[in-house]
């Protein structure tokens, strides 16, 4: 509970600076790319990828230069995005692990505030079928066109929990067209809209429209030698291909997604909705291994180094940010729920949160976060699931929406979650990290049962090249104690204590 003692006074103090009392309530669109790392944007200096829409948003709105996914992989980050809590609190340890029905989402809160809420695209925190207790409708959205996992060209989606349907076209544009129709319905009902759009791009396997592929025709010749492993669109199985060919397709997906975002912005402007609509974009984790090129940051997707968790972060909201603002405040996907609560004047859920209202901090000109950021990749291979009770009936966790990539021969994805009554010492294992002001401590388990300890000065060494642990042991000790105390809180949440009755 120590974290709440820190964050609640901060939120209370800065809440007066929020627009909670402003009329009318702003419309809100939260978008997220799939495996889209920090460096893969034109505005961050990428040598090849073309993102004119994101570049314009960065040049005219709020650019968050130190925005983090709460986890270096997708399902956990999505759980944090919706709940303001670290995914380990609800047993969403890794891709394919669902969250829990008792979690309180941004959609549930904004629906209570009078918003019409819709989800579009990748869900991946449980199944989207009608009987699932954690589908978008069960978690607060009024309507949804969603997929259990990722998708490619001509995607299959479930509308409001129904059987999967094929939607011809480039997937990002399909989602934006559906989002526009959702906005029209919300306007007919006279309600502000809250839309969550989670793209399937640029997650592998890759595909692109001819006009987008043509923009990157030079890449196969530039990167002909290195081979990367990814999924074959033809077989759904792993294949090795030259990275230049792969990058051509990956960047075509990013450019198509960027263009779809531009289509949404154009619609908002033409319908006089742009001024008071908050439009947000981020990635769900760092760049995947197959798409990794040169980056100023160490690591890729699945790693707790900056390259695994630092992602693009952009906000356009002309009513609040009339001109460009670049912020170096460290913020994360866990901050979205508390920030939206402050904006619309709703109280925070009465349970431990890991986020805070970062827009009030930006308004105050702050560049240092008043509370640490924590990361934890739980070692799921150590979990003896046969000894644990499923949190949700496994039949309800079986996915229905097909995708190209096969998993154990299946073109669909299933999910899992378990009761965790034990708080044994081995529950603290797994790669974990804390960022507090300029310093970042990372702890890794070693094969011999020990712990590798790394301390970095992110201001002087954003590439995390120099381990300062031996030189700054006192700093490391303080951070390590803070991390352990936070883990205590997370494991208490994992036991079910936040829901009132605890575990059975």
Architecture of domain 376-393+411-499: 2-Layer Sandwich (3.30)
CB within 8 Å of 395: residues ≥ 6 apart: none
d(CA 283, CA 109): 23
Phi, psi of 326 (to 5 degrees): -115, 120
pLDDT confidence tier of residue 62, bands split at 50, 70 and 90: very high
Q: In this model, does residue 319 exceed pLDDT 70?
A: yes
In the chain, which residues fall in CATH 3.40.720.10?
2-15+24-370
What integer is the mean pLDDT of 70-79?
98
Q: What is the pLDDT of residue 436?
A: 98
Q: Which two tokens stand for residue 252?
A: 């075509």
- Each residue's pLDDT tens digit, 224-244: 999 999 999 999 999 999 999
- b/e map 16-47, b = 16+ CB within 10 Å: eebbeeeeebbbbbbbbbbbbbbbbbbbbebe
d(CA 107, CA 23): 20
In the chain, which residues fall in CATH 3.30.1120.10?
376-393+411-499
CA distances from 199 to 45, 116, 257, 410 (A): 23, 20, 8, 22
d(CA 49, CA 248): 9
Cβ atoms of 24 and 11 closer than 8 Å: no
Q: In this model, does residue 426 exceed pLDDT 80?
A: no
Lowest mean pLDDT among 17-31, 61-75, 379-393, 441-455: 17-31
Helix segments in 277-327, DSSP class H: 306-309
- Each residue's pLDDT tens digit, 323-352: 999 999 999 999 999 999 999 999 999 999
Q: In this model, does residue 2 exceed pLDDT 90?
A: no
Q: Count other Cβ atoms within 10 Å, centred on residue 159.
A: 15
Q: In this model, does residue 1 exceed pLDDT 80?
A: no
Beta strands in 232-353 (DSSP E): 238-242, 277-283, 310-311, 313-316, 325-332
Share of the chain above pLDDT 70, in %: 94
pLDDT confidence tier of residue 424, bands split at 50, 70 and 90: low
Q: In this model, does residue 18 exceed pLDDT 90?
A: no
CATH of segment(s) 2-15+24-370: 3.40.720.10
Cβ atoms of 213 and 252 closer than 8 Å: yes
d(CA 127, CA 401): 9
Q: In this model, does residue 17 exceed pLDDT 60?
A: no
Tokens 């979690």, residue?
103
DSSP 153: S
CA distances from 450 to 37, 134, 189, 430, 447 (A): 31, 38, 59, 11, 7
Q: In this model, does residue 501 exceed pLDDT 70?
A: no
By three-state DSSP, how is residue 238 classified?
strand
């Amino acid at each position: 509970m120590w974290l709440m003692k820190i964050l609640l006074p901060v939120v209370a103090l800065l809440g007066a600076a929020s627009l909670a009392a402003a009329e009318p309530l702003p419309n809100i669109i939260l978008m997220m790319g799939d495996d889209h790392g920090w460096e893969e944007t034109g505005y961050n200096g990428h040598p090849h990828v073309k993102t004119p829409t994101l570049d314009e948003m960065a040049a005219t709105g709020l650019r968050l230069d130190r925005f983090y996914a709460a986890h270096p992989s997708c399902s956990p980050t999505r759980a944090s995005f919706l709940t303001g809590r670290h995914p380990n609190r609800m047993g969403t340890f890794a891709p394919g692990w669902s969250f829990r029905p008792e979690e309180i989402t941004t959609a549930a809160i904004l629906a209570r505030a009078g918003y019409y809420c819709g989800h579009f695209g990748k869900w991946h925190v449980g199944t989207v079928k009608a009987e699932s207790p954690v589908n978008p409708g069960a978690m607060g959205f009024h309507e949804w066109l969603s997929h259990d996992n990722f998708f490619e060209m001509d995607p299959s989606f479930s509308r409001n929990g129904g059987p999967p349907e094929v939607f011809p076209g480039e997937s990002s544009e399909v989602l934006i067209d559906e989002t526009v129709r959702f906005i029209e319905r919300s306007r007919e009902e006279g309600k502000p809209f809250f839309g969550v759009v989670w793209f399937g791009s640029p997650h592998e396997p890759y595909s692109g429209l001819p006009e987008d592929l043509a923009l990157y025709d030079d890449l196969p010749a530039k990167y002909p030698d290195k081979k990367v492993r990814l999924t074959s669109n033809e077989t759904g199985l792993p294949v090795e291909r030259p990275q230049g060919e792969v990058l051509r397709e990956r960047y075509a997906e990013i450019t198509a997604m960027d263009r779809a975002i531009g289509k949404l912005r154009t619609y908002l402007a033409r319908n006089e909705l742009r001024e008071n609509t908050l439009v947000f974009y981020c990635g769900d984790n760092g760049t995947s291994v197959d798409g990794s090129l040169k980056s100023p940051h160490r690591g890729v997707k699945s790693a707790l180094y900056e390259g695994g968790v630092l992602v693009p972060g952009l906000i356009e909201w002309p009513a609040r940010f009339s001109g460009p603002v670049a912020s170096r405040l460290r913020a994360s996907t866990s901050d979205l729920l508390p920030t939206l609560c402050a904006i619309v004047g709703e109280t925070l859920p009465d349970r431990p949160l890991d986020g805070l209202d970062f827009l009030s901090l930006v308004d105050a000109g702050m560049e240092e976060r008043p509370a640490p950021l924590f990361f934890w990749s739980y070692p799921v291979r150590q979990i003896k699931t046969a000894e644990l009770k499923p949190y949700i009936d496994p039949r309800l966790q079986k996915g229905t929406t097909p995708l190209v990539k096969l998993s154990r021969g299946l073109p669909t994805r299933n999910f899992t979650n378990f009761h965790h009554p034990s708080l044994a010492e081995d529950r603290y294992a797994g790669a974990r990290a804390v960022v507090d002001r300029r310093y970042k401590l990372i702890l890794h388990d070693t094969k011999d049962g020990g712990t590798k300890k790394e301390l970095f000065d992110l201001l002087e060494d954003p590439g995390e090249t120099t381990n300062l642990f031996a030189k700054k042991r006192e700093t490391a000790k303080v951070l390590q104690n803070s991390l352990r105390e936070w883990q205590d809180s997370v494991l208490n949440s994992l036991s079910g204590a936040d829901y009132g009755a605890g575990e059975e």
